[in-house]
């Protein structure tokens, strides 16, 4: 069975303190965004990929993959969830059906492995709701108080970090996200929209190195690692 992919790439990435949005920073001779797309473009079951971009994005048109017939552009929105909803509307135009699988992946997550992608697709193939790649918290976790001191230590055995891709049925995700946005709910990933709708996404344990580039040191770490691999 095929799947659709959405890549929200309309963020500015202020925490990177760079001269351009972080998905356009260089990593091993290409942009972070190109690496983030690669795993899907290499997959035989990909149907179409929709990328949400800022309307005035000057970087995308010069990338080689901008001409790939399997990639369609959508207009990004104010928040990540708006950018994903815009891409879902584009998927409907492209012929997506309610029961089709949609995978949403961050533009700034360039180190997704084919192993993890196939794991997610395989584990969730028969699932009623869908789910996401995630990683158990490794450090001891503290809740911070208003005075900047530790308020309490949180039980980390119950805490996982939400990664992407996140995989849901087109119809259910579209409904959940649209309703949650109208209601003004705080939606920071697709799973939180599904949770808001009363559904319970499955967590599939993935590799911790499928990290989202957020701060300058994340990119330093990836550059270091990629320069030493054969
Ligand atoms: O800022 P953060 O790292 O949480 O963004 C996650 C993803 O959502 C990035 O790929 C970013 O480009 C995207 N995004 C978007 N539209 C926004 C904000 C973020 O597509 N308005």
Give 186 Cα–ligand 1 centroid separation in angstroms.
14
The residue whose two tokens read 């069975």 is 1
Å from CA of 107 to ligand 1 middle: 7
- How many angstroms separate the CA atoms of 43 and 47, rounded? 9
Atom of ligand 1 nearest to the CA of 21: 12
Distance 15 CA to ligand 1 centre (A): 12
Query: To test ligand 1's pocket by mutation, which of 22, 31, 83, 103 has the most ligand atoms within 8 angstroms of CB?
Result: 83
Residue 201 has pLDDT above 70, yes or no: yes
Q: What percent of the chain has pLDDT over 70?
A: 99
**Pocket residues for ligand 1 (CB within 6 Å)?**
8-11, 13, 23, 52, 76-80, 83, 106-108, 212, 214
Distance from the alpha carbon of residue 29 to the mean position of ligand 1, in angstroms: 23
Average pLDDT, the chain: 96
Q: What is the band of 4 on the pLDDT scale with cuts at 50, 70, 90?
A: very high
Residue 230 confidence (pLDDT) = 53
CA dihedral 217, 205, 175, 96 (to 10 degrees): 90
How does pLDDT run across 153-196, given as a tens digit for each residue? 999 999 999 999 999 999 999 999 999 999 999 999 999 999 99
Domain layout of the chain by residue ranges = 3-227
DSSP helix/strand/coil, 151: strand
pTM of the model: 0.97
pLDDT, tens digit, 9 for 90 and up, residues 8-56: 999 887 888 889 999 999 999 999 999 999 999 999 999 999 999 999 9
Strand-pairing partners, residue 153, are 142
CATH of 3-227, one of 3.40.50.300, 3.90.550.10, 3.40.50.10890, 3.30.1360.200: 3.90.550.10
Buried b (16+ CB within 10 A) or exposed e, 87-114: bbebbeeeebeeebbbbbbbbbbbbbee
**Rounded-to-5 percentages of helix, strand, coil across the chain:** 35, 25, 40
pLDDT for 44-101, tens place per residue? 999 999 999 999 999 999 999 999 999 999 999 999 999 999 999 999 999 999 999 9
């Amino acid at each position: 069975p095929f799947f659709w992919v959405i890549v929200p790439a309309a963020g500015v990435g202020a925490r990177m303190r760079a001269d351009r949005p972080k998905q356009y920073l260089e990593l091993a001779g290409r942009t972070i965004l190109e690496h983030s797309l690669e795993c899907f473009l290499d997959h035989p079951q990909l149907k179409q990929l929709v990328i949400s971009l800022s309307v005035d994005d000057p970087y995308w048109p010069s990338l080689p993959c901008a001409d790939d017939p399997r990639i369609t552009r959508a207009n990004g929105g104010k928040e990540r969830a708006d950018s994903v909803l815009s891409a879902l509307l584009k998927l409907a135009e492209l012929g997506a059906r309610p029961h089709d699988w949609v995978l949403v992946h961050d533009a700034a997550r360039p180190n997704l492995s084919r192993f993890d992608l196939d794991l997610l697709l395989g584990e969730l193939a028969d699932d009623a709701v869908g789910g996401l790649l995630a990683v158990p918290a490794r450090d001891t976790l503290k809740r911070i108080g208003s005075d900047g001191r530790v308020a309490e230590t949180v039980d980390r055995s119950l805490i996982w970090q939400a990664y992407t891709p996140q995989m849901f049925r087109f119809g259910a995700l579209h409904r959940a996200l649209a309703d949650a946005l109208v209601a003004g709910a705080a939606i920071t990933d697709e799973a939180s929209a599904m949770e808001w709708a009363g559904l319970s996404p499955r967590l599939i344990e993935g590799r911790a190195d499928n990290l989202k580039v957020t701060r300058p040191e994340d990119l330093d770490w990836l550059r270091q690692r990629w320069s030493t691999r054969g």
